[in-house]
């Protein structure tokens, strides 16, 4: 057999090409052929598990394996995203990093400004298929035990569902559509106006008194659904948010 360096180099390997290798489990037939495409898929899956979660239906297994995501009562293989109201995440990932800060960021930070936010919409999706994802309102992240946290979710829209051993990612869901507006009326004079607008953003604010004179004040964003306007003197009027 010639030295390996003497064989011609294939600059553009095809997925159906075969490599000779050794099965790590050993045995009488440890030397095997491997398709290039299968080696590539295994390498990508191994990498993805450092920053994503593998769905596990077995409740007796899921809490004890790294980077698992599972339904609180187990099961859920080939079940629609619309049936999901909560998912539990093992926050210790395959490479021993901790995903808790990332999940907390998805829960309570605005993706643009970084300011405190509530009721963020997130997308949980199959990393190997565009046919499976769910959009949810993310309302709470609760410690269950150890490094396991439960995400409370409210279904918005989806296609497909959860499947055993599939790899899933989580990220902010981008909202599209016309810009939101909100009008707030302050009927009695006050130096501080507390406005719950539920626009899920940090809007610009214009304030006028009952004579339609613009009044400048200090705007404080509590989160992406609430703010206050503080003025040097009390008055009644209207705030326009967009």
Tens of pLDDT, residues 54-113: 999 999 999 999 999 999 999 999 999 999 999 999 999 999 999 999 999 999 988 777
pLDDT, averaged across the chain: 91
Q: Is residue 97 part of a domain?
A: yes
Q: Is residue 193 part of a domain?
A: yes
What is the Cα–Cα distance from 153 to 134, expressed in whole angstroms? 10
Confidence of residue 151 (pLDDT cuts 50, 70, 90): very high
Question: Domain containing 26: what range?
Answer: 14-48
69 and 141 part of one domain: yes
Q: Is residue 3 part of a domain?
A: no
Does pLDDT of 179 surpass 80? no
Q: Is residue 7 part of a domain?
A: no
58 and 32 part of one domain: no
146 and 100 part of one domain: yes
Q: Is residue 6 part of a domain?
A: no
Higher pLDDT, 44 or 205: 205
Tokens of 118: 């509530």
pLDDT for 4: 74
Last residue of a domain, one of 127, 154, 172: 172
134 and 218 part of one domain: no
Model pTM greater than 0.75? no
pLDDT for 178: 55
pLDDT for 106: 95
């Amino acid at each position: 057999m010639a030295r390996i360096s003497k064989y011609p180099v294939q600059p553009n390997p095809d997925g159906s090409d075969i490599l000779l290798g050794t099965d790590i489990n050993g045995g009488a037939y440890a030397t095997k052929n491997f398709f290039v495409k299968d080696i590539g898929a295994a390498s990508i899956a191994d990498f993805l598990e450092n920053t994503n979660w593998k769905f596990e239906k077995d409740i007796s297994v899921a809490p004890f394996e790294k980077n698992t995501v599972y339904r609180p009562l187990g099961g859920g293989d080939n079940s629609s995203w619309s049936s999901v109201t909560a998912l539990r995440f093992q926050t210790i990932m395959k490479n021993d990093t901790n995903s808790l800060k990332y999940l907390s960021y998805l829960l309570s930070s605005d993706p643009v400004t970084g300011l405190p936010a509530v009721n963020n919409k997130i997308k949980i999706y199959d990393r190997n298929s565009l046919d499976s994802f769910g959009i949810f309102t993310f309302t709470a992240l609760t410690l269950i035990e150890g490094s396991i946290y439960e995400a409370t979710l409210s279904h918005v829209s989806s296609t497909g569902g959860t499947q055993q051993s599939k790899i899933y990612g989580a990220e902010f869901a981008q909202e599209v559509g016309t810009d939101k507006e909100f009008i707030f009326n302050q009927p009695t004079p006050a130096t501080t106006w507390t406005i719950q607008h539920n626009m899920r953003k940090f809007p610009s604010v214009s304030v006028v008194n009952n004579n339609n004179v613009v009044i400048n004040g200090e705007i404080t964003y509590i989160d992406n659904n609430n703010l206050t306007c503080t003025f040097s003197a009390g008055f009644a009027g209207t705030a326009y948010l967009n």
